[in-house]
Amino acid sequence: MGAISKKILLGSAMAMALVAGTAGALMAQDKPVIATVVKISGIPWFDRMETGVKQFQKDNPDVVATQYGPATADAAQQLQIVTDLVAKGVNGLAVVPMDPSVLEGTLKRAMDRGIIVVTHEADNQKNTHADVEAFDNADYGKALNERLAQCMGGKGKWTTFVGSLGSRTHMQWVGAGEANAKAAHPEMTLVDPNNESFDDANGTYEKAKEILRKHPDIKGFQTSAGNDVLGVGRAIDEAGLTGKVCLVGTGLPNPSADLLEAGAITAIGFWDPQKAGMAMNAVAKKLIAKQKVEDGANLGVPGYEKVKVTKGPGEGLLIIGNGMVIADKKNYKEYLF
């Protein structure tokens, strides 16, 4: 398994070939196979999630747990990977959709074939047995915005970044942020919102430079994808605006450390993708074994010891943990990963 554990899939054709080969080998085993499919491989966020999938595999030798993902943040490439895994007949899918709507038809076919489907960052996904969220998404978006407002003194121009306009959670976070600013901080003025980053730090850096040129008096950025704070933070730092422009967004402590220390990133919000990967796989294993996941259940994963379970938008469940963290220069070292 070691040679294929890191599946950075180069383009659609290679993605299909690699998934076909590895999934075919996995399906030859007697144990249930749970395939985790992430938005994009080879970035810190989903590398961290893969450590969770590997830990779950280690802790649960009675299943086979692996992770796949496209080389770029491309919903079409992710769809092809999922489609091929469905064709191979895995027992469970744990998917972090780039765009939930793109996957609806394929996930329905998977469910019709008896494959257990668990999703994450997709509480609007209709064709899933369970969507697992680390926290209430509106609460998280509000918390990021409140930290931004605190830095901005509750006034001035600000803008938002999302991985993509189809990314459900990102749009929820910035939407909740916008609602919070409007209600609690009327002197904050939103300009040019919902910039798409596609989780590309370099592209985000260029876009942030454009915004800083267009709005030289801008005071804040609220960002969503894991690499956004790195691109925007670099633009703020290089422009000599550290301490003058605030930046709060989703990010991981290790990659963000230098910019947090420099003051170019004000604060980062996150949940541990390792634990989210473990929680998704734990739910998939339970459902494959025809066990129920009920309100207050302990999934055996930190942050998911007493989950809230409600009905989702389709026939499935919405499972919400308590894994939100907001960290800044003072305390990020408590969470180094």
Tokens representing residue 158 in the block: 């600000």
| Backbone region of residue 60 per phi and psi (left: phi > 0; alpha: psi in -120 to 50; beta: other values) | beta
pLDDT in tens, 102-134: 999 999 999 999 999 999 999 999 999 999 999
Report residues of the chain scoring pLDDT below 70: 1-29
What's the rounded Cα separation, in Å, for the pair 146 and 152? Answer: 10
Question: pTM for the complete prediction?
Answer: 0.84
DSSP β-ladder status, 317-320 and 308-311: antiparallel
Of 47, 124, 39, the C-alpha closest to 82 is: 39
The pLDDT of residue 30:
86
The pLDDT of residue 19:
55
The pLDDT of residue 16:
46
The count of other CB atoms within 10 Å of the CB of residue 324 is: 17
